[in-house]
């Protein structure tokens, strides 16, 4: 019976990851530069989500919980200087990026935006990404672990920095 329950748990997890894979994709694009780094971060995020999944209690939306784990993993990954071992995806399921999902297919404006966002500090990146996902200030605060008022201030400052970075990028073209 335990094997059946474990199989159900794995299938449930894979379904939730599949439904919310855009979250991982966006975080990997903002916090990684090369294709290899994106794939490594993708695997690390999925591993951390899997390890944390038994603790998910449903008190928040799955996407909110997933963002928090993914952002924390990305930030931790940046701070580590050593390479991570390659980790096989659960049950051999391919959870890596496909070529068509790469940032290269996006419009030039979106590419410039991603490049500008990647130059922000880690927490600023997270807040701006959540803002662009149209998350409420309350939800952003819960994911990042700061007050709604602080979210508001950081969004205003982040937008100002992005404008400057975008203007700088377009003047160099």
Q: In this predicted model, what pLDDT tens digit does every residue of 15-61 receive, in sequence order?
A: 999 999 999 998 998 888 888 989 999 999 999 999 999 999 888 88
137-140-144 Cα angle (round to 5): 140
Same domain, 2 and 70: yes
How far apart are alpha carbons 119 and 31 in whole angstroms? 9
Same domain, 94 and 128: no
Q: What is the CATH number of the domain that holds 110?
A: 1.10.10
- Report which DSSP code applies to 82: S
In the prediction, which pLDDT does 2 show? 62
Say which residue, 97 or 81, is predicted with more confidence. Answer: 97
> Among the three residues 56, 83, 102, which one is the final residue of a domain in this structure?
102
In the prediction, which pLDDT does 110 show? 76
Same domain, 4 and 88: yes
Q: What is the CATH number of the domain that holds 76?
A: 1.10.1740.10
> Among the three residues 52, 79, 102, which one is the final residue of a domain in this structure?
102
Residue 81 confidence class, pLDDT cut points 50, 70, 90: very low
Number of domains in the chain: 2
- What percentage of the chain carries pLDDT values higher than 90? 38
Same domain, 88 and 21: yes
Q: In this predicted model, what pLDDT tens digit does every residue of 93-124 receive, in sequence order?
A: 444 444 444 444 457 777 788 888 888 888 89
Same domain, 96 and 154: no
Domain range enclosing 132: 106-173
Q: In this predicted model, what pLDDT tens digit does every residue of 145-168 receive, in sequence order?
A: 899 999 999 999 999 999 998 888
Q: In this predicted model, what pLDDT tens digit does every residue of 62-78 receive, in sequence order?
A: 999 999 999 999 988 88
Same domain, 74 and 132: no
Same domain, 72 and 136: no
Same domain, 13 and 91: yes
Same domain, 63 and 88: yes
Residue 144 CB contacts under 8 Å (≥ 6 apart), including other chains: 68, 71, 123, 126, 127, 130, 151
Same domain, 20 and 97: yes
Same domain, 121 and 78: no
With 0-12 / 13-18 / 19 or more C-beta atoms within 10 angstroms meaning exposed / middle / buried, residue 150 is middle
At residue 114, the 3 state secondary structure works out as helix
Same domain, 114 and 72: no
Global pTM reads: 0.66
Q: In this predicted model, what pLDDT tens digit does every residue of 24-33 receive, in sequence order?
A: 998 998 888 8
Tokens of 5: 């329950």
Looking at every residue in the chain, the average pLDDT score rounds to 81
With beta carbons less than 8 A apart as the criterion, state whether 29 and 98 touch. Answer: no
């Amino acid at each position: 019976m335990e094997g059946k329950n474990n199989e159900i748990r794995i299938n449930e997890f894979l379904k939730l990851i599949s439904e919310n894979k855009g979250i991982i994709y966006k975080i990997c694009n903002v916090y990684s530069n090369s294709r290899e780094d994106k794939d490594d971060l993708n695997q690390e995020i999925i591993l951390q989500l899997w390890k944390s999944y038994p603790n998910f209690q449903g008190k928040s939306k799955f996407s909110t919980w997933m963002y928090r784990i993914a952002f924390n993993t990305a930030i931790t990954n940046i701070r580590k200087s050593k390479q991570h071992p390659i980790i096989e995806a659960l049950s051999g399921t391919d959870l890596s990026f496909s070529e068509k999902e790469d940032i290269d297919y996006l419009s030039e404006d979106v590419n410039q935006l991603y490049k500008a966002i990647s130059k922000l500090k880690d927490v600023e990146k997270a807040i701006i990404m959540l803002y662009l996902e149209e998350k409420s200030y309350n939800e952003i605060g819960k994911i990042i672990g700061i007050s709604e008022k602080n979210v508001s201030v950081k969004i205003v400052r982040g937008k100002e920095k992005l404008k400057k970075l975008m203007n700088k990028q377009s003047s160099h073209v």
